[in-house]
Amino acid sequence: MSSIRFIRLLTLLTLTASSVPALAESWQGVGEMPLDYRAYVRDFNGGDDRGLVEKYFTTDTQMISGSGVREGHKGMNEFLAWAHNGVREIARPQVVMWDKDHIFAEIDMDFVASKPRPDFTFGALQPGDIMTVKFFAEYTVINGKIKTLKTMTWKPETGVTKAPKLGSHAGQRAAFLAYTRAFSGALPDQYSSFYTDDVKLQLSSVGNLDGKKAIVDYYTKMFRTVRENLEINQIVFDDNAIVGDFVSVFTASEDAPDFVVAPLKKGESIRVPVFVYYTLKDGLISQIRVARSGTPTR
């Protein structure tokens, strides 16, 4: 790709990225794409990093970014294992251009945390946090595989689009798993960010809790003596609802003789199978209905 053409592409992408809200997703190029970039994005978002590197990158590939240069499959795999430790990375291309040897993309990249990452490249993350970073990426493609990947980024949350948090997309499914980790980690700022302000929670053992504040207040008080960890058996997603088969594991950090499920002594746990139906509104949880699906066991 000539330097003049590269500069033109970069200028167009920069102008697109600087408009908020961003222009509609655009894909255009000269001839056929040198690789199936839509399939690449799908597999990238699938979370199998080693499979992605094996399928799409040459053995002597180079990844060049502001944080350094990674060489070959080994370097790529080591970097991705570190970067994605407790963090799902979801690519949402905004503009994609290509010629016979290159693909150039403007990407809004969502980083979805399911564990604490105080060392994360773009800033500290807690479970349930979703950070979006604008990427520009140039791929040089040889015989259908990526020989060189060059990336540059903007400051996090600058000039980006934001996807609805929850739904059926791979990133939204990852976000729901991050929500459960934030809830189990007793992080109210993180887990409550997935609720509408007027969310309703229906618990057979407690009754109805109306509004985000009521839910946070209830669990903040409960978590002082009893922590709840959500174990996932099965989940079904669509853009209107999430339905899950869970086990709620309640563990007492202090004696809890009046705990609503059963009296617990410090260190004791009780497991409660439950079905949970989450109603979604604009990508946020607007209603939670919980029903026991089995007998509690200690």
Structural contact between residues 283 and 166, judged by C-beta atoms closer than 8 angstroms: yes
Same domain, 100 and 51: yes
Domain range for 220 = 170-292
Same domain, 81 and 180: no
Give me the pLDDT at residue 24, please: 53
Q: Which amino acid is at 153?
A: T
Whether residue 158 is contained in a domain is answered as: no
- Nearest Cα residue to 242 out of 164, 149, 171, 172: 172
Give me the pLDDT at residue 12, please: 43
Whether residue 165 is contained in a domain is answered as: no
Round to whole Å and give the CA distance between 129 and 114.
8
Number of structural domains found in the chain: 2
Give me the pLDDT at residue 39, please: 97
Same domain, 141 and 203: no
The domain boundary residue, chosen from 153, 188, 223: 153
The pair phi, psi for residue 210, each rounded to 5°, is -110, 120
Same domain, 13 and 149: yes
Round to whole Å and give the CA distance between 188 and 220.
8
Same domain, 216 and 135: no
- Nearest Cα residue to 138 out of 109, 108, 103: 103
Same domain, 13 and 143: yes
Whether residue 162 is contained in a domain is answered as: no
Same domain, 146 and 187: no
Give me the pLDDT at residue 19, please: 36
Radius of gyration of the chain (CA): 22
Same domain, 17 and 138: yes
Give me the pLDDT at residue 5, please: 44
Give me the pLDDT at residue 205, please: 83
Same domain, 65 and 207: no
Round to whole Å and give the CA distance between 298 and 292.
15
List Cα–Cα distances, 186 to 71, 225, 230, in angstroms: 40, 12, 12
Q: Which residues of the chain, if any, have pLDDT below 50?
A: 1-23
Residue 209, token pair as written in the block: 């809790």
Secondary structure of residue 49 in the 3-state scheme: helix
Q: Which amino acid is at 98?
A: W
Give me the pLDDT at residue 25, please: 80
Whether residue 175 is contained in a domain is answered as: yes
- What's the pTM? 0.89
| CATH number, residue 241 | 3.10.450.50
